[in-house]
Chain A
Amino acid sequence: MGVINLTKTLKGKIGWISLSKDYKKVIAQAKTLKELVVKLNKMGNPEGHIMNAAKDYSRYVG
C-alpha cells in the first residue's frame, strides 16, 4: 500500500479545488469554496474530494 502523491495533480493550483475520486485530476477549481460548490452543482455533483490547494504545505506545523 503506497503513498498517494498529489504534487503533480496540484502543481500550480491555488484556491479551492475538487479532485477526482482517484486523485488523478482536478475536476473543478475556484477562488472561494462557495464558487466551487456552485460549479460542482452545475456539473451534477460528480464524486470527488474538496480541498484547499496551496503552493507549499511543508512549512505547516500543527
Chain B
Amino acid sequence: MKQDLLQTPIKICYKVLPGRGRVKWPIIDVKFTHQGDSLPQPLLALVDSGANHSILHPLVAEALGFNLKQLGPPEKGGLSVSGKYESWALPSSIDIDIYGNKFRSRFTVINNRELIWPCILGEDSIFEFARLDFRKFKGYFEVRFRLDIN
C-alpha cells in the first residue's frame, strides 16, 4: 500500500461557542472566491465528518454572486437529523482557500436563512483534500493537506 503524500500538519484549536455544555467545535478559516466575487474576510466554517455534502448559507451564496431565485425552486427531499430540508446544488464550483491551500469545491445551499453555520465542510470537500486527525481531548485537531493534488 502506497504511503499518503501529505503536508506537515497544521494544528487548529477547537473553539467553544455560546450554549450549554461548553461544546468544543472543530472550526476553520475558509476564504471563498467565485468568478470575481469574494468576501473581505475568511468565514468560520464547521468541519463535519457526518455531512456527505458541503453546505453554504444562502446569504453566503448570494454574496458570492449566485442568484438563487434564478436557480428555480429548491429541490425537496433532503434529509437530516432535524428532518426534511430543501436545497439548491450550486451550478458552479467555488474556489476555497484554507490556510493558503487552494481547492475548488461544489456546495449545496440549504433553503434556510436561519442556518447558524455560514459554511459546513463535509466529506465531499475538506475530507477529499486533507487528512484530519481530531484530538478533542487535547483541544485541537490536525489538518494535513494532500500533496498529490493541486
Contacts and interface: CB of A to CB of B under 8 A. Distances in A.
Interface residues of A, number: 35
B11 A1 contact: yes
A29 to B, nearest CB: 13
Contacts of B116: 52, 54, 57, 60
B126 to A, nearest CB: 14
From B13, B57, B116, name the one whose CB has the most chain A CB atoms within 10 angstroms. B116
Given A1-B138, A58-B23, A50 B18 contact: no
A2 B57 contact: no
Contacts, number: 104
A5 B25 CA distance: 10
Interface residues of B, number: 39
B28 to A, nearest CB: 10
A50 B118 contact: yes
Nearest to B136: A3
Interface string A1-25: 1111111001100001011000100
15 contacts: A1-B13, A2-B139, A5-B15, A7-B17, A10-B17, A37-B63, A41-B40, A48-B41, A49-B41, A50-B40, A52-B57, A54-B17, A58-B23, A59-B19, A62-B46
Nearest 7 A/B pairs, CB to CB: A58-B19, A56-B19, A45-B40, A51-B44, A33-B59, A57-B17, A3-B139
Given A2-B13, A52-B57, 20 more contacts: A6-B17, A7-B16, A18-B41, A19-B44, A33-B57, A33-B60, A34-B63, A40-B41, A45-B40, A48-B41, A49-B42, A49-B44, A50-B118, A57-B23, A58-B19, A58-B20, A61-B82, A62-B46, A62-B50, A62-B81
